[in-house]
Structure 1
Amino acid sequence: MAKTKIVILGAGYAGLRTLKQVQKEHLDAEITIVNKNEYHYEATYLHEVASGANPPEKISFPIMSVVDQKQTNFIQDTVVMVNKDEKTVELAKNGTIEFDYLVFALGFESESFGITGVDEFALPMVDIPTAVKVREHMHAQFAKYNETKDETLLSIVVCGAGFTSIEYLGELTQQMPKLVKEYNLPADKISITCIEAMPTLLPMFVEKLSTYGIQKLKDRGVKFLVGTPIKEVTPEAVVYQENDELKEVKAKTIVWTTGVKGSSLVGKSGFEERRGRVMVAEDLTAPGYPTIFIIGDCSAVMDKTCDRPFPTTAQIALKQADNVAKNLAAKIKNQPIVPFTFKSQGSVCSIGNNEAIGEVMGHNLKGYPASMMKKVIENKSLMTTGGMKVMFEKGRFDLYH
């Protein structure tokens, strides 16, 4: 009798944790994991690479460090299409592979919301290559300044004020004194502007915490434009609407962090979706397809307390992965499945290496204690996806004040 074929697409938080847990089940199965890169990266720390605070190697580790080669085959390739009825996956280089069970965990993409000029002129921050590009682009502008004295070269606009935006601004402002010295720049000419369409900043936190975090960034020179939707991005400016008037901020570095969507392959593969996310069944399978699990950034799970989908975070992705591993084993063994449930443990938003705000297990934290908790959470995440060795190699142990 042929072994059950399990295919996992993506090696982000959801995909890699699923692999780790499924391998522990020691099923009579052939496991294949497909990912376009040979490494897993901690997506919650892309802002550190984009700001120059840390190199890519600090936030990534090899997928093979998790792969049990007795059970699992790793294919480094790009997914082209999932044929859900035929139970096959088309790959760019390796042709077509078959599956009995599929875990779709391909991650997120930048969302432009159809705004003119975003795809052409703004810099997204969705993976390591794009984060490196943000850093390199900014450095290139700074390097040109002393030749031209063009002050738009020293102007940075961050579009959006979500978690990624605020964490990027936190690291960037802490790196700025070093950059000023490195490129011999006039510190008073540096301009950092954050433009946000929503009327409030960091609404997921209580007002005391959000005010603390935003004030820290303002004290470091960040200017916030709030309740001002972006209308267009040009090569040298961001056009926004304030009341009924169109205005612009001139800048040569425009970073786009307004939001993300699930993988475009969700829609291309024929799943019913909205912004790349599928409203999954209670066992995290695609409706009508009990052998196809969709988790992480491509899944939508309703939070019944507010009748809205839970935000796509690393925390929920890891919990989904644990549930999928159990349910995969249950389905193969013809045992009852366990419905997925989730209760957030809170969240922490960094505003630099030793500054953060957060709400964890019902407790509000700010400043150094919050930043320490952020590092503890990161270390736990590394342990969850990569194991003890990876945690000690890549973990955050600079818990000093």
Structure 2
Amino acid sequence: MSRVPRIVILGAGYGGVVTSLRLQKLLNYNEADVTLVNKHDYHYITTHLHMPAAGTDKPDNARVNISSLIDEFKVDFVKSTVVQIRPGEKKVILEDGTLSYDYLVIGLGGEPETFGIPGLKEYAMTIRSINSVRHIREHIEYQFARFKQEPDRKELLTFVVGGAGFSGIEFVGELADRIPELCKEFDVDPALVHIYNIEAAPTALPGFDPELVEYAMRLLTDKGVTFKIATAIKECTPEGVLIAGDEFIKAGTVIWTGGIRGNHLLEDAGFETMRGRIKVDEFLRAPGYDNIFVTGDCSLVMNPEGRPYPPTAQIATQQGENCAFNLVASIRGNALKEFAFVNRGTVASLGKGEAIGIVGTKKMKGGTAALMKKVIDMRYLYTIGGLPLVVRKGKLR
């Protein structure tokens, strides 16, 4: 009796989870052994992390236990950290063992891209995981508590957010909503609190509709955010940031949202990468490997104009569906399906009850866009967990 093929999926982000769930539905019993590896026993909703980071929601609302999503009779879950990928040997080295595979899916997620800016890696915080947002939330609260003990240190109430892309804009929107609550709780004059959003590009939300960007910046400015656009951060220190023009902003908190690169394990494994990402073929495979598929932040997919698609949750989810189809096709000897991204719309939240977005050709802003963002969140929850998960997590804003 021939051995069934082994599929190993690295990472339970959007791409990895959707690949696993689709394989559960597509594969026949005993047609393949599927193993999902993740360092946590939960999947977290990246597009929701800005809220618990600012303290406007609980971290638990952004996480879903993997055991509640997968069928343990169809997918084995291994809680471990990936240490090394050895594509030549068809092996993955974990911190506590080794897995062999016939087919590999790499969805390990990305790492902050600091662009070589001195001090960012050491002194700036990032919104990248449940643990990181807990740290940011507690740190922000601690700054207010420290200020009450050291009232001369006004920089403790200065918050710098590097990057005005979607993550940066969504976070400053939530932070601006949280500040009045913190000022009331700690009896602090709101006029002493300063939020800076610094972006090196000529505009906030680069590539987004200019009319909606103007609306977002005006609304956030009214909430107390100071924008410094077309202004690069030159250095980050324990005391704050040095920006273009040699201006130094003293700050007790620096949060970096300015970019993501692929996981360093890809370069270590010998794959050819661009900013840590593998430029996949039309079937999402790593060049030179018919048995290795790549999704999410680790993959580089070009749009029809020859530019990379931004690594969003939307594209990772669609990659997971395509990846599962192609894995089953590979096992059965059927034709593979080319990956074609379908943009179903983009929405950025600006705090409670406010957002901007484009769905098709329709521009949205205000409460309408905020409602659309909630619909998008609910649709994803339904995709991975059905109606029970939508009901459980229905408070996602």
CA distance in 1, matches of 2:140, 2:285: 42
- Listed as ranges, the matches of 1:360-399 within 5 Å are 360-396=359-395
1:195 maps to what in 2?
198
Q: Distance in 2 between matches of 1:215 and 1:397?
A: 25
1:85 alignment partner, SS class: coil
Provide the aligned length of Structure 1 versus Structure 2. 393
Give the aligned partner of residue 354 of structure 2. Answer: 355
Contact 2:27 2:328 in 1 (8 A): no
Question: For residues 179 and 67 of structure 2, what CA distance do their matches in structure 1 show?
Answer: 36
Task: Specify the alignment match of 1:293 in structure 2.
Answer: 293
Aligned 1:222-241 pairs, distance under 5 A: 222-241=225-244
| Corresponding position of 2:247 | 247
Task: Give the deviation of 1:370 after TM superposition.
Answer: 0.1
Q: 1:124 to 1:397 in 2, by over 3 A?
A: closer
TM-superposed deviation, 1:309: 1.0
d(CA) in 1 for partners of 2:7, 2:238: 46
Q: In structure 2, do the counterparts of structure 1 residues 269 and 367 end up closer, same or farther at CA, with 3 Å as the change threshold?
A: same
Return the alpha-carbon distance in structure 2 between the equivalents of residues 206 and 70 of structure 1. 47
Match of 2:109 among 98, 107, 117: 107
CA distance in 2, matches of 1:74, 1:223: 45
Q: 2:290 aligns to what SS in structure 1? A: strand
State how far apart, in whole Å, the 1-side matches of 2:13 and 2:94 are.
18
Aligned-residue Cα RMSD (Å) equals 1.1
Alpha-carbon contact 1:376-1:396 (below 8 Å) kept: no
In the alignment, structure 1 residue 5 sits paired with structure 2 residue 6? yes
Deviates more, 1:380-389 or 1:152-161: 380-389
Give 1:275's aligned residue: 275
The answer to whether residue 122 in structure 2 is matched with residue 120 in structure 1 is yes
Structure 1 contact 379–396 (Cα < 8 Å) conserved: no
SS at match of 2:159: strand
The amino acid across from 2:367 in the alignment is Y
Question: 1:96 maps to what in 2?
Answer: 98
Change in CA separation of 1:34 and 1:397 when aligned onto 2, cut-off 3 Å: closer
C-alpha distance in 1 between matches for 2:352 and 2:104: 39
**Given that residues 377 and 396 in structure 2 are in contact (C-alpha distance below 8 angstroms), is that contact kept between their aligned partners in structure 1?**
no
Would you say the 8 A contact 1:375–1:396 is kept in 2? no
Moved more, 197-206 or 277-286: 197-206
Q: Find the counterpart in structure 2 of residue 333 from structure 1.
A: 332
Tell me, what secondary structure is at the counterpart of 2:372? helix
Rounded to whole Å, the distance in 2 between the matches of 1:300 and 1:344 is 16
Residues 378 and 395 of structure 1 are in contact (CA less than 8 Å); yes or no, is this contact kept in structure 2?
Answer: no
Look up the match of 2:131. Answer: 129
Quick check: 46-55 or 364-373, which moved more?
46-55
Residue 309 of structure 1: aligned partner: 308
User: Any idea what SS the aligned residue of 1:144 has?
Assistant: helix
Q: Distance in 1 between matches of 2:238 and 2:325?
A: 50
Partner AA of 1:18 in structure 2: T
Q: Is 2:163 aligned against 1:164? A: no
- The TM-score with structure 2 as length reference comes to 0.97
Q: Which residue of 1 aligns with 2:323?
A: 324
Q: Which letter maps to 1:181?
A: K
For structure 2, the 5+ residue unaligned runs are none
Q: 1:12: how far off?
A: 0.6
Report 1:47-126 matches (<5 A). Answer: 47-93=50-96, 95-126=97-128
- Aligned-partner Cα distance in 1 for 2:384–2:264: 25
C-alpha displacement of 1:349: 0.4
Question: What is the aligned-residue identity percentage?
Answer: 43
Instruction: Return 5+ residue gaps in structure 1 as ranges.
Output: none
C-alpha contact (below 8 Å) 1:6/1:29 kept by paired residues: yes
